[in-house]
A and B are shown apart, each in its own frame.
Chain A
Amino acid sequence: MSLAIRLTGALLVALGLAVAAFKALRHDIPLAPTEERGPWEVELTISVRGDGQRGSIRALLPSTEPGQTIFDERAAGERLTVAIQEAAEGRAGVWTGRLEGVHELVYRFRVQLTGLETPIDGVLVAGDTPPSERDVYLRASATFPVSAPAVVERIEQLGLAPASDPAARIQTVFAFVAHEVQTVESGGDDALLTLERREGSAIGKERLLVTLLRASGRRARLAQGLELREGAVPSPNTWVEVGLGETWITLSADEGILGRRPENWVVLGRGPRPLVEATGARAVGHRFRSVREHLRPDEIASLMAPDDPLLAWLSLYRLPIGTQAMLRWLLLLPLGAVVTAIFRNVVGLRTYGTFMPALIALALSDLPPSWAAGLLGGVLAIGVGARIALERLRLLMVPRLSILLCLVVLYVTSVALVNQHVGGRDWLSGTLLPIVIITMWIERITITAEEEGTLEAMRRTFWSLVVAAAVLPVFQSELAGYLVFTFPELTFASMGLLVWIGGYTGYRVVELIRFRSLTHEAPQR
């Protein structure tokens, strides 16, 4: 290795490590995730289109309450003024102004969730006093038809415990809705229809639960919020809160939850208003994004707003969440490249394509191993089989590759359908890239099989998979993900390592085997 290469590599490695060390020591940024259950950052983006009229957009905003602490709130709206309203049923953000063309409104917050345990036990029951007749949470409405004959009749048939045992009454009503009413995706949201058909949407069931609870004499209301999941888009969630004494107890007929709010539910608001509504607008749409941080709130604060303005300007933690998610993904690629380079140049494995194994690993890293293996194996098998079948037709290369792509698309489509019918989770979104890559891979495999024999093709496929499997833990490592995102300057260190590997003129591991017959023979003469 030449001196220039040694120095260039050392310089880059030193640069990356020095900047990272400076940040870590000077600004107390931890070198590893410190908090498994760190806060979530949630972003609400509202797109609204108007034709010049004045209008307003109202969105439910979370409040700090038992189970959740809100901090780092930021709101922005193109050409609109934003105000935060405090009301009995919660807070709301209201953007007002003349709506002209498309406006993008963004509201971001961080929330530390702890979950909320509210078991129905003796202590709560003891503090219970019957609510007054005029209580707003007992009232009948179009949404909660408390005095409808079907509802009254159902309450009678349930044979509730005496009013002195409120816990038993709540449990009986809950058990009826949770176990005797089916949840169907296409079901209606109406409480009465849900009661009559014994099936309804998740919202229909929760509305029915509120209606029946109110009819049984309990105060009940709907709560709206989000269910947050790592690596997934937050899903809007509606559940029920029933009053017992001073406490509101969480129930979800759909999820079968009684007496506890899960740790990944954030409350946005209560009452009948939707999450986002607009007046004076021609169209409005919204989406949520979230990311979980594995740091304590104070550490996040030092990353978001360090004393040094340059560092603050450079902090990736201030970027929009979608961009953050993309960068968390992208910044891992150089690490994958280092591992690939080691396998190719120091070990000497022959793989298909330079970065294909790493890309496949990266793209499949969100899938559970069984899914990744199944998808990969299925696509490979179909592709190679179809390629052999198509061989007889003697098609030109581009259409032939395209037919292969069609088959792979059909295969993925049928996997999605089967998955839907067995009720699996949605794993397939985001697997577009690997499927295209695998299709190209099949072409390389079949050509190699023709030209250099099936054995060589299988060998190279195997080594490609070995490299992909070796890169996979890097992409799945929480520590690696944290380090490259918090210290993006480490990419310079990766470049330094790559310079060193690029200048490595020593033997590859496989050459020890290749030339074994030479080194093991008896010395001549």
Chain B
Amino acid sequence: MSLAEMRRRGILGINRRNVLYTLGQNERARYPLVDDKLLTKQLCRRANIPVPRLIASANTHREVGQLLGRVRDEPAFVLKPARGAMGNGILVLEWRDGQLYRGVRRMAEGAFVYHAAGIVSGLYSLAGHSDEALVEERLETDPRFAELVADGVPDTRIIVYRGIPAMSMVRLPTRASDGRANLHQGAVGAGIDLVTGLLGRAVQRNREVLASPDTGVSIAGFEIPEFDRVLDTAVRATDETGLGYVGADVVVDARYGPVVLELNARPGLAIQLANRAGLRPRLEAIDRVHPDLADGERAPGTPAERIALGREIASANP
């Protein structure tokens, strides 16, 4: 019976996540801090946490018309909605010989303006409200990822519960996902051992894969570069939000090291598939170590102490 098996493995379901964690631990008034990428950026900058540099933004259709002029000097950049969801509406672009390119395809400048106008109109925002179009620098993947990723920027998702990292995975973009690090678009999700930073098992579209579909290199045993700093960045960034249950997306950039791409107050459950493990035992273990915390309150201790606790709990609940 798979229901009993799911309970035994401690799989966290969406209802339980919503009631106990996103509703129970995340104060509604603080959601904008993570839902609005511009606010997240400011938050992180104030705390000296690296984020992708903002090049330009547009709030109105008039500003949309000027957007392209302000990015002419940037060799490569990303256009994204400030309040988008699930990676919707994001374009990764670069200039080649004075022409705009999206991957291998040329993109007309009119199409760029149209897309940005769609963002401002609220086409990709969470509730369809008007939105802000952001242009930020394109991150450069750490070269150590080259053996697993042919194209696109892999990012590391860490679930941080009450300030303690509970589980993590890396999302590896593939040709099938069109260079995007979104699992539902065909990116590979691979579980990371919190203690060692080594990749374990991996899934693509809910099916287990052993090697990178693009490079053919075996996934298990690959070491995430600078994983200790990745965890530290994730924990410190989520500390700034005051939210109790957050997913932090961290990219290891070739130039800056770990950079916070975005934070998520409703992190998805696919991380359990990538890790082949349930979240519940780890979240409940954290509650057992700190039974007296109020809803939304974070565990005491320095980031380093909390990371050590998270690693201890993870290794006790494989």
A residues whose Cβ falls under 8 Å from a Cβ of B = 345, 348, 394, 396-398, 447, 451-453, 456, 503-508, 511-512, 514-521, 524
Contact = CB atoms under 8 A, between A and B. Distances in A.
Contacts of B273: 514-515, 517-518
A397 B129 CA distance: 12
Contacts of B20: 505
Contact of A507 (B6, B121, B185): B6
Contact of A504 (B9, B15, B88, B207): B15
Contacts of B111: 394
Given A345-B15, A396-B121, A508-B15, 18 more contacts: A394-B110, A396-B117, A397-B122, A397-B123, A451-B88, A452-B184, A456-B184, A504-B15, A507-B3, A508-B13, A508-B14, A512-B2, A512-B3, A512-B6, A515-B6, A518-B11, A519-B5, A524-B276
B110 A511 contact: no
B256 interface: no
Contact of B123 (A447, A505, A514): A447
B28 interface: no
A512 B7 CA distance: 11
Nearest to B184: A452
A503 B3 contact: no
Contact of B2 (A447, A453, A508, A516): A516
Contacts of A504: 15, 19
B124 interface: yes
A452 B19 CA distance: 27
Interface in B153-210: 184-185, 203, 206-208
A520 B206 contact: no
Given A505-B13, A505-B19, A507-B15, A515 B88 contact: no
A398 B121 contact: yes
A325 B16 CA distance: 40
Contact of B276 (A447, A508, A511, A521): A521
Given A516-B2, A518-B272, A518-B273, A511 B13 contact: yes
Contacts, number: 77
A308 to B, nearest CB: 41
Contacts of A516: 2
Contact of A519 (B2, B89, B123, B207): B2
B2 A520 contact: yes
Interface of B: 2-3, 5-6, 9, 11, 13-16, 19-20, 61, 86, 88-89, 110-111, 114, 117-118, 121-124, 184-185, 203, 206-208, 272-273, 276
Nearest to B113: A394
The binding surface of chain B is classed by DSSP as helix
B254 to A, nearest CB: 29
Closest 7 CB pairs of A and B: A519-B5, A505-B16, A397-B121, A507-B13, A394-B114, A519-B2, A451-B88
A506 B272 contact: no
Nearest to A456: B184
Contacts of B276: 518, 521, 524
B121 A506 contact: no
Contacts of A452: 86, 88, 184-185
A193 B285 CA distance: 93
B184 A515 contact: no
Nearest to A391: B114
Nearest to B61: A396
A510 to B, nearest CB: 9
A514, A515, A517, A524 — most chain B CB neighbours (10 Å): A515
B117 A515 contact: no
Nearest to B7: A507
Nearest to A397: B121
Contacts of A519: 2, 5-6, 9, 11
23 contacts: A348-B14, A396-B61, A397-B118, A397-B123, A451-B88, A452-B88, A452-B185, A503-B19, A504-B15, A505-B20, A507-B6, A508-B14, A511-B6, A512-B2, A514-B206, A515-B6, A515-B11, A518-B9, A518-B273, A518-B276, A519-B2, A519-B11, A524-B276
A399 B88 CA distance: 22
Contacts of B6: 507, 511-512, 515, 518-519
A446 to B, nearest CB: 10
A396 B16 CA distance: 40
Nearest to B84: A451
A503, A504, A518 — most chain B CB neighbours (10 Å): A518
A444 to B, nearest CB: 9
Given A394-B110, A394-B111, A506 B9 contact: no
A187 to B, nearest CB: 52
A50 to B, nearest CB: 50
A451 B124 CA distance: 9
Given A397-B121, A511-B6, A517 B208 contact: yes
A348 B15 CA distance: 9
Contact of B89 (A396, A451, A517): A451
Contacts of B124: 447, 451
B267 to A, nearest CB: 16
A519 B89 CA distance: 34
A402 to B, nearest CB: 13
Contacts of B11: 507, 511, 515, 518-519
Contacts of B208: 517
A394 B111 CA distance: 8
Nearest to A517: B206
A398 B130 CA distance: 12
